[in-house]
Amino acid sequence: MGELEQGRGGLRRLIYASRYAGGGDFGEVVRTIVNASIQNNRLVDVTGFLLAGEGRFLQWLEGPSAGVEETFARIGKDPRHDGVVTIADGRVDRRRFRDWNMAQHRLGVLDRPLLSEIGLEHFDPTGLDAARAEHLLVEVGERHLRGG
Ligand SMILES: Cc1cc2nc3c(=O)[nH]c(=O)nc-3n(C[C@H](O)[C@H](O)[C@H](O)COP(=O)(O)O)c2cc1C
């Protein structure tokens, strides 16, 4: 994607964590969310990555500031999760997930070493700082994009 597509607000990247509100099959809910996200995010030029597991979400949204704003406002009102905490929000120079309007990964045992790398025994991303959240998403994301 070109330099100009970000528009006047610049390229924005937002990371937040939240908790699944329960009341259905988690995997099914994640799939439904991602299907809607792929369609919606394309319309506002937002790309990103959703990490889901142990009833928790950690999501990376990037794109034109207005698109990220509008998308995150909608996500914040979604009753399927609660305890939404913004971990990072600001300008960035480039996209990290440019090929994915939204991709998702379900955390599994293979991701354990990565979690301990950032000091987590369980996937509880709420208290993560920006650097550790970014590290986790980029590492899992890159593995995911390679098809691993
Ligand atoms: C953890 C989580 C992540 C979500 N991510 C996105 C997203 O990236 N883009 C999006 O449009 N909707 C996302 N949603 C869904 C929105 O909250 C909302 O349900 C949806 O955008 C409504 O779209 P629809 O009217 O096309 O169904 C997410 C919801 C949850 C719970």
pLDDT tens string 12-36 = 999 999 999 998 999 999 999 999 9
Cβ proximity of 91 and 11 under 8 Å: yes
User: How many angstroms does the Cα of residue 72 sit away from the middle of ligand 1?
Assistant: 8
pTM (predicted TM-score): 0.94
Mutate to test the pocket of ligand 1, among 20, 37, 71 (most ligand atoms within 8 A of CB): 37
Number of domains in the chain: 1
Return d(Cα 119, Cα 21) in angstroms, integer.
25
Pick from 57, 62, 74 the residue to mutate for probing ligand 1's pocket: most ligand atoms within 8 Å of its CB: 74
How much distance in Å is there from the Cα of 45 to the middle of ligand 1?
Answer: 14
Provide the residue range defining the domain that includes 93.
4-145
pLDDT tens digit string along 37-77?
999 999 999 999 999 999 999 999 999 999 999 999 999 99
Condensed to tens digits (0 to 9), the pLDDT of residues 105-147 reads 999 988 999 999 999 999 999 999 999 999 999 999 988 777 6
| CATH assignment of the domain containing 124 | 3.30.70.100
